[in-house]
Chains A and B, each alone.
Chain A
Amino acid sequence: MIKKIFSYPIQFVLFVLIQGLVLNNIQLGGTANPYVYILFILWLPIETNKALVMGIAFLLGLSIDVFTDTVGMHASASVFLAFVRPFVLRTLAPRDGYEVNIPPTASGLGWFWFLRYAAIGIFFHHFFLFFVEVFRFSEFFDTMGRILTSTAFSLVLIALAQIFNFNVEEKR
């Protein structure tokens, strides 16, 4: 358990660096951007205090913002994700609730559950992020298109990250 708690700060730094240095430079067709760093929020244990998740999300978003010169943009979107996360978790809960100490990952709750959970989370985050970025509704469908392509792109990369993590967890 203690090992786990220590591993979170390392994960945090890794996600920020990978997002800031590598993924921010990747675009599909010049419009679709993958934002994988939110996987850190998605992976936090289900029982984590909601307010704590929100604080972590704010710091995580702010760290990403430092790399992109957009102070507050990723922070606000990540906080929004932290806000909807409990509702998403509740909606997707199995009939008799979550077992204690089960992580919200594919290895913990299965691929079908994880992909739905990730897709909904990513969509909420990207929706908020892209609309804060353009800050107007006049080009609604343009923005919507970019949100959907980016969501798909992020989901693929997050699934890949989950596959790698899956193997690591299996070996333990």
Chain B
Amino acid sequence: MRNLIAFIRKYSFFFLFLAVEVLAFYLLFSKNHFQRSSFLNSTNEVTGGFYTKYSNFNDYVHLAEVNEALSEENKRLRGRQIQSFERLFGENVYVLDTIFRRKYLYTKAKVVNNSISHQNNHLTLNVGIKNGIERGMGVIGPNGVVGVIKNVSDHYASVVSVLHREAKISVKLKTSQYFGSMQWNGVNYRNTQLIDIPNHVELLKGDTVVTSGYSSIFPEGLSTAVIQSFEVREGENFYDIEMKLLSDFKQLSYVYIVKNNTSTELQELEENREGQND
């Protein structure tokens, strides 16, 4: 016993190191729990406030690019307006009836903090619970998917970016409708990877990849990336596809948060189905 105490005393510094390191790793691995409490992350009011001030300052510098992106988006949306379509056949009447209902609602938000250089990147937005933002909502930018809301505080929300090694987004090929997952390999922030596309599918460089709409987080058909190169490794059944992201994450300043009005209904249905299979 005395030897044991002597041993611990002799190496007390090392044991202290181990204890603190264990605490740090405990925080690291249980971070979802801790972050849900929204204290030790950038959605808290102190750092969130700093980030807002900082990004207000930064905005002036990037006004030109933001205007550019917004007018580009306006152009695209204008092209989709009913006024820009011509009636093809004589007497068709456009009837607004109850066939349509609103499925997605959008909230605009400003990016107050953004990172692209880590393996797991996050963004912070200047909207929170008070703006009706909830965990799990999708975030899109002028040029496609940006990420998914992870934590929300009263006035801020943090987003798991597409540039996060564990973020998987369900996407499909615009032309052939084959679906796969978009997942980042952590190398280049302009590129991302498409997995789970079987090797019999015909691909072309420059094919557009759009959101599949299966996850019910993002609306279907949102252009997100284009195929840059692809190959099949020997003995594999799936392509390795390199895609170029349409949005430049370094320039993101305004984004939209997508609320799906039917998501709870859909989730309940899918959970029920899983229950019955057992």
Residues of A within 8 A of B (CB): 17, 20-21, 24-25, 27, 30-31, 33, 50-51, 54-55, 58, 61-62, 65-73, 75-76, 79-80, 82-83, 86, 132-134, 142
Q: How far is the CA of A72 from the CA of B27 in the complex (A)?
A: 5
Q: Which of B65-73, B83-91, B114-122, B262-270 contacts A (4 or more CB under 8 A)?
A: B114-122
* B29 CB to nearest A CB, Å: 8
Report if B106 contacts A (CB, 8 A): no
Task: Give chain B residues whose Cβ lies under 8 Å from the Cβ of A82.
Answer: 17
Q: Is B50 an interface residue (CB 8 A)?
A: yes
A141–chain B nearest beta-carbon distance, Å = 13
Complex contact B40–A31 (CB within 8 A): no
What residues of chain B lie closer than 8 Å to A72, measured between beta carbons? 24-29, 31
Q: Which chain A residues border B186 with CB–CB below 8 Å?
A: 134
Candidates B16, B25, B27, B119; contact of A51 at CB < 8 Å: B16
Contact partner of A76 (CB less than 8 A), chosen from B16, B28, B54, is: B28
Nearest to B43 among chain A residues (CB) is: A69
- B1-21 contacts to A, CB under 8 A, are 13-14, 16-17, 20-21
Cross-chain contact A68 with B118 (CB below 8 angstroms): yes
Q: Report the count of interface residues on B (CB-CB < 8 A).
A: 38
Q: Supply 17 A–B pairs (Cβ within 8 Å), ascending by A.
A: A20-B50, A30-B188, A33-B118, A54-B16, A66-B40, A67-B42, A67-B113, A69-B42, A71-B31, A71-B40, A71-B41, A72-B26, A72-B29, A83-B17, A132-B28, A133-B120, A134-B119
Residues in chain A near residue B14, CB distance under 8 A:
83
Q: Which residues of B contact A67 (CB under 8 A)?
A: 42, 47, 113
| Bound CA–CA A72/B47 (angstroms) | 17
Given A66-B44, A71-B35, A71-B40, A30–B24 Cβ distance below 8 Å? no
Contacts A72-B28, A79-B17; is A31 near B42 (CB within 8 Å)? Answer: no
Q: Which 6 A-B pairs have the closest CB atoms?
A: A72-B28, A72-B27, A76-B24, A27-B117, A75-B24, A83-B17
Could you tell me the distance between the alpha carbons of A55 and B16 in the complex, rounded to whole angstroms?
A: 10
Q: Are A66 and B42 in contact (CB under 8 A)?
A: yes
Interface residue? B158 (CB, 8 A): yes
Complex contacts, B25 vs chain A, CB 8 Å: 72, 76
Instruction: Name B's A-contacting residues (CB within 8 A).
Output: 13-14, 16-17, 20-21, 23-29, 31, 34-35, 40-42, 44, 47, 50-51, 54, 113, 115-120, 122, 124, 158, 186-189
Q: How far is the CA of A61 from the CA of B41 in the complex (A)?
A: 13
Separation of A142 and B47 alpha carbons in the complex (Å): 32
Contact present for B27 and A71 (CB under 8 Å): yes
A75 touches which of B27, B50, B116, B117 (Cβ 8 Å)? B27
Least CB distance from B20 to A in Å reads 5
Known: A30-B188, A50-B13, A133-B118. A69 touches B20 (CB 8 A): no
Complex: A73 Cα to B51 Cα, angstroms: 20
Count chain B CB atoms within 10 A of each CB in A25, A51, A80 and give the residue with the most: A25
B120 contacts which chain A residues (CB < 8 A)? 70, 133
Known: A54-B17, A72-B27, A75-B27. 4 other contacts (CB 8 A): A67-B47, A69-B124, A71-B31, A75-B24
A30 touches B189 (CB 8 A): yes
Task: Point out the residues of chain A lying under 8 angstroms from B51, CB to CB.
Answer: 21
Interchain nearest-CB distance for B240 vs A (Å): 15
CA distance A129 to B40 in the complex (A): 19
A75: B residues at CB distance < 8 A:
24, 27-28
In the assembled complex, the Cα of A73 lies from the Cα of B16 at a distance in Å of 18
- Within the complex, the shortest CB–CB distance from A165 to chain B, in Å, comes to 25
Contacts of B116 in A (CB 8 A): 27, 30
